[in-house]
Structure 1
Amino acid sequence: MKVEKIFGLILLFVSICSITSCDDKNENVQEAIPFHLKKHYYEVALRGYNSIPIVNGSGDVNVFVEDEEIVSATYNGELFADQQKGVILVEGKSKGETTIKITDNITRESETVSIKITDSYVACHITESNHPFLKMGITLFLINNEARNFYAFQMNDMHHTLYEKPYGYGAYSLCVEKTTKDSKAEFIPYLTLTYTSDENGSYITGEIPQTDHKFNILHPSQFVYRVFESKLGVNWDNMVENATRSNYPDNILQMQEESMGYSIIGELDTDYNIPENILD
């Protein structure tokens, strides 16, 4: 009789442990918020980066890239910042389009994201300016494509993002000109923006010829030269080694418009993304 009671108690204990274990496993699954993405399309610049935030689900995800010759993607979990579970960092390796499949390993839910790799570009946030077109608050994008396009965007202060449509656009060119000062040769870099404008340089629309607006790039740092080389494919020859130091941070771009004397100061940003559906 005692043996039967002991055996019964053992069975009861094992049953309770088994039920508790199952409940714990079910609880872990139930605690995971259903996994889904708010956004299913991203653009990434060639040799640039973009990020896909993971804000729900378990935070334990698997990432599968359809074409690894076009993009690479790595997941960094357990960030716990801004209510994020983690972030997927996407790098553009070659132009084209592909997909990334993201699977939550706990909830077993999957989402597919379309990725487009665009031409590379440089972003410049205008911080000081008396220019009628390139005003303070404008972000200028110089695109590394055959047409050498540029786009200028205004900031939507309410949403803290750029407007989806450009404020103005045109073409650009970069060159170096040799001058002589006090019998000494100097090489000066220039940025020329070509767009439809009035006589003061303000951007206007209409069927009118475009005008060149030439800017002297003042005292560029080695960082500025190298950003233009890597992102825009500009060959500065030996200008990088001979770059002069200034009192500004390395990422500052100072320019002066030749004909009107307008002054512009901007910050180069190699990680800032142009609004989507603008570039090929």
Structure 2
Amino acid sequence: MMNKLINPILFIMCLFVTACSDDNNGNEPISSFSLDKTYYEVRLGRGSTNIHVTNGSGYISLSIEDEKILNAKYAGGLYADGLRGVIHLYGLQKGSTTLTITDNVTKDVETVEVKVTDCYLAYVINDSNHPILPAGTTLFLVNNQAQDYYLFDQDNIYNKPILKDNSYEFFITQDTDTGTGSEPANYAIPYLRLYMHNPADTGTTTAEFYDFEIEMYGEDASSSYVLQVIQAYLDVDWEELKGNIQTKSPAPIDMTMIMTVPDTDYRIRGVLSTVSIPEHILE
């Protein structure tokens, strides 16, 4: 009689221990898979836009409607911040397509629209006394035929540019430095020019413009990498612009780009960045 009572008790205790052991091992029910957004943008040819997978099983399959426009790769695994995985989106050609994301365990499916825009580069302005490019703004230079640019307030929650126009251009001037040698040396000085058109004057192509010298020399200079990044993202051929002009060796300072206006006290200090432009701005 005693044995008949003990066996059920032992069985229940075993179940309790097993359940506790499962809890200690972190075996939790798998949540359903879903995304907070169903629209993403990625710039053409450079960098990626990431979709963070925060729920579901983490075992994901991807299907792209038009593989000529978009490439997508999934990196699964439990990250330190609790992410289940990250989907990296790469723009191959301008246009829009859909990406179908399937959780292979829960069978949940999400379909998102992905738009590939022109490539662009951001200039995040931290300190400036110039009225056109004030501190706390970000200048986006777009690599398209019109060479559009947009200026956004970094605190603008409505994602509307405070300035937009076309076009901009980079160019080179020469600076002659006689130094201590008998022969003067010519050095290349890179510039950014921003054109500002009068929207009321649609019958003319004339425009006001502002020139900014990119400070590459001296103790407090731009990073030596900024010209390379501008060339990579905006297709600026510095070699073609400067021709045979010699260049000094600039000092590397992170990705800082400092611009001044010659013969004035205007000075702009910012950082070249791959931060994304607000959505639904670019075609």
Task: Tell me the TM-score range normalised by the shorter chain.
Answer: 0.7 to 0.9
Matched with 1:246 is 251
Please report the RMSD computed on the Cα atoms of aligned residues, expressed in angstroms.
Answer: 2.8
Matched with 1:237 is 239
Query: Identity, % of aligned pairs?
Result: 37
Alignment of 1:199-278 (within 5 A): 207=200, 210-219=207-216, 220-237=222-239, 242=247, 244-246=249-251, 248-249=253-254, 251-258=255-262, 260-269=264-273, 271-278=274-281
Matched with 2:32 is 34
1:259 CA displacement: 5.9
C-alpha distance in structure 2 between counterparts of 1:50 and 1:247, whole Å: 28
Residues 105 and 118 from structure 1, CA distance in 2 versus in 1: closer, same or farther, beyond 3 angstroms?
Answer: same
C-alpha distance in structure 1 between counterparts of 2:112 and 2:248, whole Å: 43
C-alpha distance in structure 1 between counterparts of 2:49 and 2:248, whole Å: 31
Q: Which amino acid aligns with 2:236?
A: V
Residues 268 and 129 from structure 1, CA distance in 2 versus in 1: closer, same or farther, beyond 3 angstroms?
Answer: same
Q: Which amino acid aligns with 2:249?
A: T
1:104-139 deviation digits (Å, cap 9, x = unpaired): 011101111111111111111112211123122211
SS at 1:186 equivalent: strand
1:260 CA displacement: 4.0
TM-score normalised by the chain length of structure 2:
0.77
Alignment of 1:112-261 (within 5 A): 112-156=111-155, 163-170=158-165, 171-182=167-178, 183-195=184-196, 207=200, 210-219=207-216, 220-237=222-239, 242=247, 244-246=249-251, 248-249=253-254, 251-258=255-262, 260-261=264-265
Question: How many pairs does the alignment contain?
Answer: 242
1:34–1:107 CA contact under 8 A, matched in 2:
yes
1:82 CA displacement: 4.0
Q: Which amino acid aligns with 1:253?
A: M
1:206 CA displacement: 6.7
1:217 CA displacement: 0.7
1:242 CA displacement: 3.6
Gaps of 5+ in 1: 1-19, 197-204
Q: Which amino acid aligns with 2:214?
A: I
Residues 35 and 276 from structure 1, CA distance in 2 versus in 1: closer, same or farther, beyond 3 angstroms?
Answer: same
Alignment partner of 1:279 out of 259, 279, 282: 282
SS at 1:207 equivalent: coil
Matched with 1:102 is 101
TM-score normalised by the chain length of structure 1:
0.77
Matched with 1:201 is none
